[in-house]
Amino acid sequence: MLLQRPICKHCNKNHTAINYIRNGVTHYRSTCDECGRKKNKLKPRQPSWQKSGYKKKATCDLCGFHSKYPSQLTVFHIDGKLEHIELSNLRTICLNCVEIVKKTEVTWKRGDLIVD
């Protein structure tokens, strides 16, 4: 017997994508291939430190360097644990200071970068 293939819940247009087939029964996803792909693509990759509400500063916490572009500064987790996103664990560091930090501060670890 043939099961009716459902229509995508997202676009209400295409048939849903096949999820898997088990014991001759086809299981479908709730969305079509197209919407499934779009969803994956749109999924924002948010750095962990951004979830804490931390905003990368325009000046370096170490030397006071004032950046012209955000890419000149990077966020560090000073205890080296990327999952520790308390504001007290985060520092905005310029690329010059990154070099110094890498040599002097053993625990500091660069946080996830923002994808522009």
* Residue from 69, 46, 55, 47 nearest 95 by CA: 69
Q: Which stretch binds Zn ion (CB under 5 A): 8-16, 50-58, 84-92, 107-115?
A: 8-16
* Tokens 């500063």 found at: 57
Query: Where are the alpha helices (H) located in the chain, listed in sequence order?
Result: 33-42, 95-104
Q: Which stretch binds Zn ion (CB under 5 A): 14-22, 48-56, 69-77, 79-87?
A: 14-22
- In the complex, the smallest distance separating the C-beta of residue 12 from Zn ion, rounded to whole angstroms, is 7
Binding mask 33-72 for Zn ion (x = CB under 5 A): --x------------------------x-xx-x-------
Residue 73 interacting with Zn ion (CB under 5 A)? no
Task: For residue 93, count other CB atoms closer than 10 A to its CB.
Answer: 26
